[in-house]
Each structure stands twice: as C-alpha cells, then as structure tokens.
Amino acid sequence: MTLIDKEPVKRVQKILKQFETNSEVVVLKSSARTALDAAKSLNCEVGAIVKSLLFKTEQNFILCLVAGDKKASLNKIKKILNMKDISMASADDVKNVTGFTIGGVSPIGHLNKIEILIDLSLKRFDELFAAAGHPNCIFKISFEDLSKITNGSIIELVE
C-alpha cells in the first residue's frame, strides 16, 4: 500500500477531482509535517505553505488556514468570532473532527463540517501548497481555488 492509498489521502484526492482542479496529491520523499519541512521539500518559500490550524471555540471548532511564515492571532480570531473562549484543539480533537493527524491536516476532506477562515496573507503567492491527509502528502493550489474549494471566509488572522 502506498501513501496515496491511505483513506485520509483518498478523501483529499476525491475532493480535488470533484472540484475539477488540475491539482493532485503528490507524495514527497521527505516529511512535510511542519511548514519549514514542507518548504524545504518543495524548494519554495515557507509562506507558500498553508498551515491548517484547528481551534476549539465555545461550542464548536474552526479551521484557520494561515501562511507558513505567519502566526495565527488568537485575539483576532476571538474578535472575528465574537467569542472569549478559544484555544488550540488537542491532537485527539484534531483527529476526531478532521479525520487527519497533526502534520497532515488538509484544508479539505474533513470528516465533519467545519467553518473555515483563510488568512489574507496567503493571497501574495501564485501557488500554495497544502497538506493532503498525511505528513508526506501535499497538493498545489491557487489562493482563488483554495477559497472556492473550502468555501472559506477570507480575513486577516495573523499577528
């Protein structure tokens, strides 16, 4: 069995195909568990790596897509959602809510419907790279297609 045959990666590949993008899942020889690792593997800027960060809110979860060279601002996210109690989701929550393990959380293909916020700073790149369900799997996508395929809200989320 190759990494492409793993169920979480298949979920991502299926959505990419349904979206009619010419994006496809690519298996890297080295890990893309962190944005820095992914950028080194892909020979691209760290900012072109999409970090998928799951936050736990008062009643639910929210996924924030942030450039690899930026840090999500909890204060901005709290103001955007008009909530006081927001924190990073635990590894177990990430697995249970998205169906992915940390390091391979994709912006698409989640087990549950999740509201998605996309940081505006990602727009500066022509090509973005996002995790595809496994730490060694990614896909390439434009900012415009990322916002369409995720149906995410574009907003300033970083410090």
Give residue-wise pLDDT tens across range 50-76. 999 999 998 899 999 999 999 999 999
Task: Provide the mean pLDDT of the chain.
Answer: 93
Bridge partners (DSSP) of residue 70 are: none
Under CATH, which number does the domain 3-155 receive? 3.90.960.10
User: In the chain, what is the straight-line distance between the N-terminal and C-terminal CA atoms, in Å?
Assistant: 41
| pLDDT at 133 (0 to 100) | 94
8-state DSSP, 3: G
| pLDDT at 37 (0 to 100) | 87
Break the chain into its structural domains and give their ranges: 3-155
* Highest mean pLDDT of the ranges 11-20, 34-43, 67-76: 67-76
Name which of 37, 50, 35, 28 is nearest 106 in CA terms.
50
**Separation of alpha carbons 31 and 8, rounded Å:** 16
**Separation of alpha carbons 85 and 76, rounded Å:** 12
| pLDDT at 30 (0 to 100) | 81
Beta-carbon count within 10 A of 126 CB: 8
